[in-house]
Amino acid sequence: MADRYLSFTRTAPGRFVTRRLGLPQPAPLCRWSAERPALEGPLLHLTAGDTPLPGLHEALTRSGLPPHAGPLGTQRPAAVVLDATAVASVTGLADVHATLHPVVRSVRDCGRVVVVGAPPSPADHHQAAAQQALEGFVRSLAKELGRGRTATLVRAPSATAAEPVLRFLLSPKSAYVTGQVIEAQTEPEPEPESEAEAKPKPEAELPDPIRPLAGRTALVTGAARGIGEAVAHVLARDGAHVVALDVPAAAPDLARVAERVGGTALPVDITADDAGERVAAALPDGLHALVHNAGITRDRRFAAMAADRWSAVLEVNLASVLRTTDFLLKTGTVRRGGAIVTTASVAGLAGNAGQTNYAASKAGVVGLVRSLAPRALAEHGVTVNAVAPGFIETRMTAAVPLLIREAGRRLNSLGQAGRPVDVAEAVAWLATGPVNGQVVRVCGQSLLGS
Site for ligand NAD in 279-318 (CB under 6 A): 293-296, 316
Distance CA 188, CA 378 (A): 7
Distance CA 369, CA 363 (A): 10
CB under 6 A: which stretch of 13-21, 58-66, 205-213, 263-271 binds ligand NAD? 263-271
What strands, in cross-sheet order, belong to the sheet with 334-343? 264-267, 241-246, 217-221, 287-291, 334-343, 383-389, 439-442
**Identity of the residue numbered 88:** A
Nearer to ligand NAD, 38 or 396 (CB): 396
- Cβ atoms of 65 and 37 within 8 Å: the answer is no
- 422 contributes a contact to ligand NAD by CB under 6 A: no
Nearer to ligand NAD, 246 or 425 (CB): 246
- 416 contributes a contact to ligand NAD by CB under 6 A: no
Residue 176 among the catalytic residues: no
- Cβ atoms of 235 and 213 within 8 Å: the answer is yes
Torsion of CA 130, 132, 138, 139, to 10 degrees: -150
Nearer to ligand NAD, 183 or 269 (CB): 269
Torsion of CA 142, 56, 389, 248, to 10 degrees: 160
Give Cβ neighbours of residue 27 (< 8 Å, ≥ 6 apart). 109, 110, 146, 147, 148, 414, 415
List the x/- string, 319-358, binding to ligand NAD by CB under 6 A. Answer: ------------------------x-x-------------
Nearer to ligand NAD, 63 or 394 (CB): 394
**DSSP secondary-structure letter at 23?**
-
- 450 contributes a contact to ligand NAD by CB under 6 A: no
Active-site option among 32, 137, 358, 429: 358
Minimum CB–partner distance for residue 269 and ligand NAD (Å): 5
List the x/- string, 170-209, binding to ligand NAD by CB under 6 A. Answer: ----------------------------------------
Distance CA 259, CA 448 (A): 38
What strands, in cross-sheet order, belong to the sheet with 150-155? 67-68, 43-47, 79-83, 112-117, 150-155, 180-183
C-alpha distances (whole Å) from 302 to each of 151, 234, 311, 357, 367 are 36, 37, 13, 8, 22
Q: What are phi and psi of 341, to 5 degrees?
A: -120, 120
Residue 53: CA atoms inside 13 Å, Cβ hemisphere, count?
31
Minimum CB–partner distance for residue 309 and ligand NAD (Å): 14
Distance CA 140, CA 307 (A): 40
- 267 contributes a contact to ligand NAD by CB under 6 A: no
- 246 contributes a contact to ligand NAD by CB under 6 A: yes
For ligand NAD (CB under 6 A), the number of binding residues is: 27
Minimum CB–partner distance for residue 17 and ligand NAD (Å): 28
- 221 contributes a contact to ligand NAD by CB under 6 A: yes
Among 224, 261, 368, 427, binds ligand NAD (CB under 6 A): 224
Minimum CB–partner distance for residue 68 and ligand NAD (Å): 38
CB under 6 A: which stretch of 148-156, 265-273, 302-310, 330-338 binds ligand NAD? 265-273
Minimum CB–partner distance for residue 165 and ligand NAD (Å): 22
- Cβ atoms of 170 and 65 within 8 Å: the answer is yes
Kind and range of the H or E run holding 264: strand 264-267
Minimum CB–partner distance for residue 335 and ligand NAD (Å): 23
- 251 contributes a contact to ligand NAD by CB under 6 A: no
- 247 contributes a contact to ligand NAD by CB under 6 A: yes
**Catalytic site positions:** 358
Interface residues toward ligand NAD, by CB under 6 A: 221-222, 224-228, 246-247, 250, 269-271, 293-296, 316, 343, 345, 389, 391-392, 394-397
